[in-house]
Structure 1
Amino acid sequence: MIVKNLTGKPDTDSRNTSLFGVVHPATHEAVHQVERSSRESFSKALQICHDALPSWSAQPLAERCSIFEKAASLLQDGSTDWKSRLAEANMKETSVTSWWTNEQLDGVPLFIRELTRAAHEVLVPEVMNADKSTVHIERLPFGVCLAIAAWNAVHLLTARAIITPLIAGNTVILKTSEHTPYTQTLWAELLHVNFTGSTNVGSILAGLAGKHLKPSLMELGGKAPVLLLPSADFRIAASHILFGTFMNAGQLCMSTERVLVPRSRYDDLVAALRDAWASVKQKEPRALFSSVSTCRVRNLIKDAIARGAEPLTGPWKEDIGNLVTPIILGSGTAEMKIFREESFGPVSIVIPIEDDGLTNEQVTDHMVALANDSDYGLTASVWSTDLQLAQDVARRLECGAVHINSPTAGDLPSVPHGGWKSSGWGRFNGAEGIRSFTQIRTIETEKGPGHTLPLDIFEL
């Protein structure tokens, strides 16, 4: 099969003879061939989006929303095969589990319905009455948007990248991931750059957007910390740490990467983690999405072990191919590469915080300082039975979202999602997501017949 570029409609596919192959990361078998986009095919797509913009943005909001509400219904309708086709395509191109692909597909309808609700809230013009005039504040689309959605949560990220700007009245060109082009063509369609992926690629795109004075929205990498305060329930926290570390083989921007715990409670946490690990049924190595990613993760683990880290979930060995055995490391320090570098794999490291002779407040201060000692700032998790204390600590963390007594990997359709620092800027989801893809225009209307202005102020 050859996956083709779609420029507007399937029957207007570009005829590009330059192809590249998609290879399954676990089996290394060729999945299919994909057309490589040319300047001509991109220009064609761009022109189609420009031509469609006036009519699409002029569509009543209710009509725009109804299109996507129908898509949500099709995904939930058992009489259609859309959900199974999308799941099958995703598992054919990547080593994703059926649970993860279906979890996303179940979440997309909820996301769409929350987005349409928020659109009716955000896109209604606001009216302000001044003494002598009335001001209408309107939110309008930017125009043509380029959406670049990553492969690791392909259904949620693609739906979000396409539907949010479209509901706001923009038109969209979707640049698929080279790892999941067929899955994303099933979802299917540049003034505004919308990107979810690596920080390195994001910084390049941000530079291009800035050079041409284009607004951009970036959700990039993460190095999510878990802070276990002294009163935390370690048994429950341990299951959340494993979930946040190993979900999708750690290939999520919100994955748990660092776990901070008082030294006096370190052994309690280790015992809880080992008990939780014993209940995990699938302990086999997981295939990461590329050999480059696999090599990076292995090197981070080997560096940590060489510097004194201890495997807490059993012996670790270097696997073949793109396989990496899931692991929690203990006795971590800030000097290890894994403390700073995003792993994007099934590994996290527990870092004991010295607390001998220190007050709980001093230990917490040290935890917060270490958690913030990162270029990233996407998500974090704080654990404590003292909810007020947990909230106070959460407000000191330099990141876009903090989850109290829940995993770092969490995202609700109605809650703004995005990062600080090198984890990006702008927000997806709900009302904030709609606002991110609109620009404001104010229209001021004088009340009454108006009045003349004094011109003698210009006299010297």
Structure 2
Amino acid sequence: MKSINPFTGELIEEFSTLSQEKLEQKLSGASVAFSGWKDVGFATKSELMSKAGAILKENREKYAKIITLEMGKVLKESLAEVDKCALVCEYYAENAESFLKDEQVDLPDGKKAKIIHQPLGIILAVMPWNFPFWQVFRFAAPTLMTGNVGVLKHASNVPQCSLAIEEVFTEAGFPEGVFQSLLIDSDTTTELIADERIKAVTLTGSEKAGGSVASVAGKHIKKSLLELGGSDPFIVLKDADLKKAAETAVKARMINFGQSCIAAKRFIIEEEVYDKFLTLFVENFKNLKQGDPMDENSDFACMARPDLAEDLYQQVENSLNAGATLIYGGDKPENGSARFSPTILADIPTSSPAYKEELFGPVATLFKVKNEDDAIALANDTEFGLGASIWSEDMEKASALAGKIESGAVFINAMVASNPHLPFGGVKKSGYGRELGRYGILEFVNSKTVYLG
């Protein structure tokens, strides 16, 4: 398992995967840890989770540099990611007890019942490289606060991030075995899901990976939560603030160099303002600066791996060959390089990859529509349903249209973003289940009915 700097191609460090013997030791340790952790009071759990947040804040530069070195995002974005992880730790430290309190039910016949929320056991998290800290902490903070314990199978290209996250919980004082990073391969992960000690699994990643994990979990009658890909629409209506919309559109497409499931990917513009929006959009794209990811002045650096850059370029080429128009960029990446030219495509044929597939990188696709009804129809003409953004000065109209979009979230006059206070997840092939908020903490508990006769 190699840790490679994608900007320079330099091998940073190589790690051995866990032997079966060591993996068994970790699983046994997790089981022992759960037997005690499930009964620890909220005051203690809250104190430890708050400490984890404090450690992240105290060491934000250290952890941010690990993120940047392993997956190539610019340092300012890595710092923001670490800060957000601290925030989610604080959020659940403060709110978990109220989210999980017993719910009293008064029945029509005068009898009473209550619903109690109890932990399940060991929860397996299979996590991606694009937000290597945030994706894990938004799982771990609520999961550990319920009394569950967690084991992490992280993406193979971010082993240092995986181990650093375990370090945070260890230094915070969580009991041994409550959170562990497992450096294992995909085959071992499949075997792990089948292990009777694993009670549920959550995955953030590709549609293919999600289907594989869900099928194994389903075979063994285990709950799974999937947060998969997205092809989020960014709808600009004719009454929108075009300057603000165009500025936000570029940020929404280019955050994390476009390697985000909730990045805006399809820009759907009413025809009356299409040309003006396009001019502003291209202008803002051109103002972005490529450079060393450790340079605070860099807006973007590279993709996370050379193969990802090559795959994305092939999607662009195939779309152009199908009849799409190249508006900006489109340069072929150098062989073996993860660097990529931000690209804008228009006139997208329905048969092209740019129309049908997720473009997981800095490629924007623009669509001109006649009216808002056509905009909604196009927004929904996808297998994905994660997030969406609508831009209009008429809030009542935008709110009504939001209800017609097939997605897990709609943001009006703002870019889609995850927030500890709000449930996060998708529909269709973007997955199922919810993370964050109260909905997120209830995913991996036994909500048990107790009838009081």
The question of a shared fold, defined as TM-score above 0.5 by the shorter chain, is answered with yes
1:443 aligns to 2:424 (yes or no): no
Query: Partner residue of 1:50?
Result: 31
1:62-87 superposed Cα distances (whole Å, 9 cap, x missing partner): 2112101111122334xxxx222211
CA shift digits 1:119-164 (9 cap, x unpaired)? 1222111222444543221001111100122111112112122222
Among 191, 204, 223, the alignment partner of 1:196 is 204
Report the residue type matching 2:37 in the other structure. Answer: W
- Identity of counterpart residues, as a percentage? 27
Match of 2:169 in 1: none
Contact 1:140 1:438 in 2 (8 A): yes
Q: Which of the numbers 133, 136, 143 marks the counterpart of 2:121?
A: 143
Unmatched tracts of structure 2, length 5 or more: 167-178, 180-197, 292-298
- Cα distance 1:22–1:109, how it changes in 2: closer, same or farther (>3 A)? closer
2:316 counterpart of 1:301: yes
Q: Are the equivalent residues in 2 in contact too, given 1:222–1:342 (CA < 8 A)? A: yes
Give SS of 2:124's match.
strand
Correspondence for 1:61 among 26, 42, 56: 42
Higher mean C-alpha displacement, 34-43 vs 141-150: 34-43
Counterpart selection for 2:435 from 421, 428, 432: 428
Q: Which secondary structure does the structure 2 equivalent of 1:318 belong to?
A: coil
SS in 1 for 2:423: coil
1:73 correspondence with 2:73: no
| 1:411 aligned onto 2:418 | yes
Does the residue aligned with 1:200 lie in a helix, a strand or coil?
helix
Pairwise mapping of residues 149-168 of structure 1 onto structure 2 (< 5 A)? 149-168=127-146
Q: Is the 8 A contact 2:288 2:300 kept in 1?
A: no
Q: Distance in 2 between matches of 1:285 and 1:137?
A: 49
Greater displacement, 124-133 / 165-174: 124-133
Q: How big is the shift at 1:312?
A: 3.0
Structure 1 partner of 2:175: none
What is the TM-score of this pair, normalised by structure 2? Answer: 0.87
Residue 99 of structure 2, aligned match among 118, 122, 131: 122
In 2: Cα distance, 1:129 partner to 1:287 partner = 58
Q: Which residue in 1 is equivalent to 2:8?
A: 27
CA distance in 2, matches of 1:278, 1:24: 26
Deviation at 1:331, TM superposition (A): 2.5
Take 1:415 and 1:317, find their aligned partners in 2: how far apart are those partners?
39
RMSD: 1.8
Match of 2:368 in 1: 352
SS in 1 for 2:8: coil
Q: Which residue of 1 aligns with 2:71?
A: 94
What whole-Å deviation, never above 9, does each CA across 1:49-108 have from its counterpart, x for those lacking one?
A: 11111210000112112101111122334xxxx222211221221211101110111112
Q: Which amino acid aligns with 1:341?
A: E
- Name the CA distance, whole Å, in 2 between partners of 1:403 and 1:371: 14
Q: Structure 1: which 5+ runs fail to align?
A: 1-19, 356-362, 447-460
Distance between the aligned counterparts of 2:286 and 2:338, measured in 1? 25
Q: Give the letter aligned to residue 256 of structure 1.
A: A
TM norm structure 1: 0.86
Distance change >3 Å, CA 335–CA 442, structure 1 → 2: same
Size of the aligned set, in residue pairs, is 413
Q: CA deviation at 1:270?
A: 1.3
Select which of 304, 309, 312 maps to 1:289: 304
Structure-2 separation of matches of 1:238 and 1:89: 32
